Every structure is written in structure tokens, then in C-alpha cells.
Structure 1
Amino acid sequence: MKLIWKVLCTLLLIIQAVTGNWWNLAAPRPTTQVGNTSLETFTALHKDACHRLEYLVERQKQLCMLSDTMIKVLQTGAQQSVEECQHQFRHSRWNCSTVENSTDIFGGVLKFKSRESAFVHALSAAALAHAVARACSRGELNECSCDSRVRKRTPRHWQWGGCSEDIRYGEMFSKDFSDSKEDKNTDEGLVNLHNNEAGRRAVRGRMQRVCKCHGMSGSCSVRVCWRRLPQLRLVGDALSTRYEGASHVKVYYVVERKRGKNIRKLRPLHMDMKKPNKTDLVYLEDSPDYCEPNDELGILGTRGRTCNRTSAGLDGCRLLCCGRGYQTRVRDHEEKCRCRFVWCCRVHCEICRFKRDHHVCN
């Protein structure tokens, strides 16, 4: 009985995502050995744990129970989205910092329906679709495998083969899971649904066709191709560009002629701005001040951040330090130098020591 309770507690810790934001799964979770618990018992505990998650809507609980390995896939997607967010914002005033012991891994930053919130929602939906599609092709999920639909197409100079990664299933799961929490009848829900879809489209639009030649002596008489997911970094780069050009929007009502109902739609806050398409990011509110610490929102501020004195970009001392100025410190650095190949077979390097200026925001 103690062992069963131990397993149940482990599952609850693994899938804990307080407030229903599934990217909280990226937070480190304690692990516990489950011993020789039978598969039937483990599955029953897994389903019971999903039912106990009161912050999930009913549809999300159903998806949680699809597979014993689905939790691991969700956690992978969450971790990848946070890591990619931190890479893309590493030079920005808000660097996608995470907060420990909080109801949300990003603190209260996402309470503002800002550009940053738009980016996080889009990237999270994209990372979930990416993680699920990758798990399908690796045989980690029973509900999907390789994409067999592409084989129905008949190209002329090559043929389908290999394992095409099923982005269609990944998108379907991401849409089902991420969107089921949103209420399209609220302004916030309508914007989140739009950004979620923009994230999924960023993955789909960058699917790659990979080919391999077959034939005698490399003659390439037969060319076999399959579809492969893009690196999440490419998706993050694309969404980062969308973030820079995100549209400030408001919700308005349009009367549908056929049904005579009011439909909620998004349009630019200012009429002279371009109407956002389905791949653009949209937001409702201006960003909070990221220059100074704000414990309530989990904002760390930029004091003590390293800046680039010669850069005119976001990582430059003028912008990153918010006009407060910076200090220049001299630090000792060590790195390998004067490396040479020694027969046979190793590389021998010396350690060079030098001083380097280090600029820190006041």
C-alpha cells in the first residue's frame, strides 16, 4: 500500500502545473523509484492522478489519460519551450526568467496580455505540437506513428519512404490540449487562441523534405524522401521575428449576415496599421516595466545584467541598463590557446590568461 501511494505522489508531482498553464511542467520535479509496480496498477494510478488535477478542464484530463508516456512528452515540450524562450530573449530586458515556488513558472508577467505573453503562448503551442509529432515518429505514443498520408501522393522524380513525422497529429493534439483551456468569448481567450494557432503554423510551414539516394555506386537511380520536423530553434527564430512585428489589437463585433449573430474578431488598435494574418502575433496590452524589480510580477529587473558597450541593439548598455548607466569591471579569463596536433593521436593546448572588460548595468 505504501508503494502504491508513493507512485501516486510521484505522478502528481510530475504533472503538477499550477493554474493550468502546462508549461509549468518545465519546472524541475523530484523523481521516485516505483519499484516493481505492475503495469495495470501504474496505469490505474496514472488515470487517477489525471482526475485529481482540478485545474485542468475535462478535455485536458482526457488527453492526460491517453497514454502513460504522454506526461513525459508534455514535460519535454514544456522544457523545450522555456529553454527556447530564454534563448530568444537572452538579450532583452525581460529574459524569460523563471520563478521558483510560484503558481506560474514565469511569475506574474503573463498577467499582462502583452507581446511577451503572445510569444510564450505561440511558442508553447508550437513546442507541444513539435514534441508530440517527434514522439509519434519515435514510437513513444500508441495513438500515432509515422505520417502515412504523404505516401498517397505520387511525385515524378522521387518516391516517398522512410518515416515522415506526423505534424498533423501534433497540431491536432496541441490544438485540443492548449485551446481547450481558452474561452473564445473573452478578449484574452480570443487573443490566446490566435497566438496558439500562429505558433502551430510556424512549425507546419517549416517542415522539411529530406531525401536519400539509392542505386549502384551512388547513381541515385532511386530517390527516397520523407518529411522531417524543423529544429525548434528555427521555429523560435521565426516567432521572435513575429514578436518584433506583433500587432496591438482590440476586439470588435461583426454581424454575420447568414445567421444574424455577432462574431468577435480582432483588428488593429489603430486603423492605419496592417490587419494581422493567421501567422502574426497579437496582443492587447502594453508590456510592464522590466527595468526595475517587481516581486509581485516576478520581474527581476536589469540591475547586474551584463551588457555590450559597443552594441546599439537590445543587449547594448544604453537600452539594457534603462538609462541608469553601467560599470566596467576587469576580469581574468582563461582559455585554451596555441593548440597543436601531437602524433598520435591527441591535441595539446596551452592555457592562456588575459584580462577582459566586463560591463554590468547599474
Structure 2
Amino acid sequence: MKLFWKVLCALLLLVEAVMGNWWNLAAPNRPVQSSNTSVETFTTLHKESCHRLEYLVERQKQLCMLSDKMVQVIQTGAQQAIDECQHQFRNSRWNCSTVDNSTDIFGGVLKFKSRESAFVHALSAAALAHTVARACSRGELNECSCDARVRKRTPRHWQWGGCSEDIRYGEKFSRDFVDAKEDKDNDEGLMNLHNNEAGRRAVRGRMQRVCKCHGMSGSCSVRVCWRRLPQLRLVGDVLSTRYEGASHVKVVERKRGKNIRKLRPLHPDIKKPNKTDLVYLEDSPDYCEPNDELGILGTRGRTCNRTSAGLDGCRLLCCGRGYQTRVRDHEEKCRCRFVWCCRVHCEICRSKRDHHVCN
């Protein structure tokens, strides 16, 4: 299964193995080994661990071996993507739940070429580009730094300065790493490549220009500006909207000297998706009932909102099975007041609240 998350699970194991051994050498209350031998030993261990990962293609192994810092950045990107996915799907029937002790972190859900798979691939590619670009600007990677190319422009009323975050390098690394295992001659690979790029474009298209004024008495005679990455939450919100409007497509082959494979709308009356849209090839599986084989937990026992008509409402989230209302004790701070000097004193107010749970 050519899935980015399968690779990331393996990389998480790599980080545990490599970094665990490293911290054993530099444990508390022991002198830090700074000799060339220790560095060479760690470097060799790191490269051997990358080489042994069976889920990586050759190009991914090369990127993995760049440095142990790069592996940490990839791990951070993976965790941020999982957290953002679970935030965006917190009220949905599939809430982006993960499976422990598995190389398929989302169970078998991504075996379906569904809109959920489209979202996860787009978000993972975006998160990796975002994390790598941010690590570059913070000086955490030797392979990159701030984006110097942006300074070649000559705007009228302001000038480039500061440290612009290098989204170009972030995109390049994400494309190099994430896309390496996808086969454009395969239907799933063609879909994943499209969604990966859509995720990266969601980051690039929301880069922000930030300026700081300089001059006598706040005259702002000179403005120094730089480019800053958007918050990943904003990217997640954008991709969530595109998930809702994802295009159901099919693969069309055309022969013009050589076979050309394109994604086209399943129905001719639907507009052709552009490069920022998410696309999917199959309908989603049933998320209402538990499915151990696919790692689907179902919605029984999930908390629902009785008054909502949205996805978090009891009617939709409980899949028509109904719900139970339970009364729970609720505590919160109340009647807070300032006490001289200098603290705030609050009382604890207790109340009973209805709690609705899916049958």
C-alpha cells in the first residue's frame, strides 16, 4: 500500500530506535560524549536504521539519511498532521482515530480511495512542507535557511528583510519525500499525487506578508517586510472546506503518441477539478458500525449535540440509532474576585448537565 502514513509509522519507530540509543549515551548524570568516535557511531547507526526501513524507496532512504534532525522534523510534521486531522474531524462519524501497534496508523480506512483518504494525503503533504519550511527559518536544518530569493524583488514603498520562511524548500522536500512512493500509472497513485499537491498549494497560497515600520517618531518612512507561514490550523480549515466539496473522479486514458492518464469528473455535468481541489475515486466505507478489519470504531458511545442539525448532531452522528441522555455533575470556576495583592480567588460552582450519548 503506497501510503505516506505507513512510511511515517516506520519513521516514528526509527526515531525511537535511533534517538533512544543516543539518549542512552547522553543520559543524565553522565558526561556527554563529544568525541569524533561517538558522532561517527551515531551517524553510522542513523544511516543503517534508515537503510533497513522496508517501507522506504531508495529516494526516501536518501532523504532519511540527510541527518537525524531531518527525521525529527518529519516526526513533528506527522504528529501535527494527526492532531490537525483529529481536530477537523472531531464531530464527524470518522473522527480520524488512530490504531496502536500497526504500520497503518489509520487502520484500513485509507485502503479506500475515498474523500477521507484525499484529505489525509493533502494534509500530510501540507504539514510536512510547513514543518520543514519552519525548521529552515529557525536554523534547525543544515540543508536550508531563510528564503533569500524573495529579496530580489524591488517594491516601491517597502523593502524585503528579516527572515522569510522558505516554503519553496518545504514544498520541494515534501514533494521529493511524499510523492516518491506514488506511481502515476496507478489509479490510486494518480489520485494521491493530485491531493498531495493540493495540500502543498494550500500552504503556499496563504503565505502572509508581515511588515515592521522604521523611521523617526513612528513615521514609518521605511517598511521592512518578510513572508511568514500561515498557521497549520488555517491550512486545515481550508482543506476541510475542500474535503466537503471534493470531486468524485475517474481515470481517463487518452492515446496521443503515448498513453496520457487524467482525472476527470465521474459525471460530465460536474466541473473539472483544478489543482487546489481534492479528488476521490471511491465512496467512503460505513463509519457507523465498528469494523475491526478496517480499524473503524463506529459511533456508539460518542457524545452528540441534541440541538445541532450538523454532523455533530445526534440524528446524524448516531446514524439513526437514537441516543441516551445522562445527567452528569459539572464543575466550573465562578464568582472570581481580585484579592489584594496579588491573586484571583474563585469559587467552585457545581451544576447538573444533560449529556447525550449515541446508542
TM-score, with structure 2 as normaliser: 0.92
Q: Partner residue of 1:277? A: 274
Q: 1:29 to 1:311 in 2, by over 3 A?
A: farther
User: CA-to-partner distance for each residue in 1:59-109, whole Å, 9 max, x for gaps?
Assistant: 000011112200100000000000000000000000000011122110000
In structure 1, the residue matched to 2:249 is: 249
**What's 1:303 paired with?**
300
Alignment-derived partner of residue 328 in structure 2: 331
- Residue in 2 that maps onto 1:286: 283
Separation of aligned partners in 2, 1:182 and 1:289: 26
> 1:57 deviation in Å?
0.3
**1:34 CA drift (Å):** 3.3
1:318-353 deviation line (CA, Å, top 9, x unaligned): 000000000000000100001111222111111000
Asked if residue 358 in structure 1 is aligned to residue 355 in structure 2, the reply is yes
Residue equivalent to 1:220: 220
Q: Deviations over 1:160-207 (max 9, x none)?
A: 111000000000000000001000000000000000000000000000
1:21 aligns with 2:14: no
- What SS does the aligned partner of 2:336 have? strand
- Indicate yes or no: 2:50 matched with 1:60: no
Cα distance in 2 between the residues matched to 1:265 and 1:174:
22
Q: Which amino acid aligns with 2:130?
A: H
| Match of residue 13 from structure 1 | none
Counterpart secondary structure, 2:68: coil
Q: CA deviation at 1:23?
A: 5.7
**Alignment map for 1:66-215 (pairs within 5 Å):** 66-215=66-215
Matching of residue 267 in structure 1 with residue 281 in structure 2: no
- Structure 1: distance between partners of 2:88 and 2:149: 34
Q: What residue in structure 1 maps to residue 310 of structure 2? A: 313
Question: Using the alignment, how far apart are the partners of 2:357 and 2:10 within structure 1?
Answer: 31
Contact 2:69–2:140 at 8 Å: present in 1 too?
Answer: yes
The CA distance in 2 between the partners of 1:19 and 1:122, in whole Å, is 12
Query: Is 1:340 the equivalent of 2:348?
Result: no
Q: Which residue of 1 aligns with 2:46?
A: 46
SS at match of 2:24: coil
Distance 1:29 1:47, change over 3 A: closer
Q: Secondary structure at the match of 2:101?
A: coil
Please report the RMSD computed on the Cα atoms of aligned residues, expressed in angstroms: 1.7
Return the alpha-carbon distance in structure 1 between the equivalents of residues 334 and 66 of structure 2.
Answer: 54
Identity of aligned residues (%): 85
Q: Deviations over 1:28-63 (max 9, x none)?
A: 957632313722221111111111112100000001
Which whole-Å CA distance do the structure 2 matches of 1:93 and 1:24 have between them? 28
Cα shift readout 1:250-295 (whole Å, capped 9, x = no counterpart): 0011233xxx112000001111111100000000100000000000
- Equivalenced residue count is 343
* SS of residue paired to 1:101: coil
**Farther-moved stretch of structure 1 (333-342 vs 193-202):** 333-342
| Secondary structure of 2:177 counterpart | helix
* Secondary structure of 1:277's aligned partner: coil
Q: Match for 1:34: what amino acid?
A: N
In structure 2, how many angstroms separate the alpha carbons of the residues matched to 1:19 and 1:307? 29
For 2:184 and 2:99, locate their aligned partners in 1 and report how far apart those are by CA, in whole Å: 29
Q: Distance in 2 between matches of 1:159 and 1:290?
A: 52
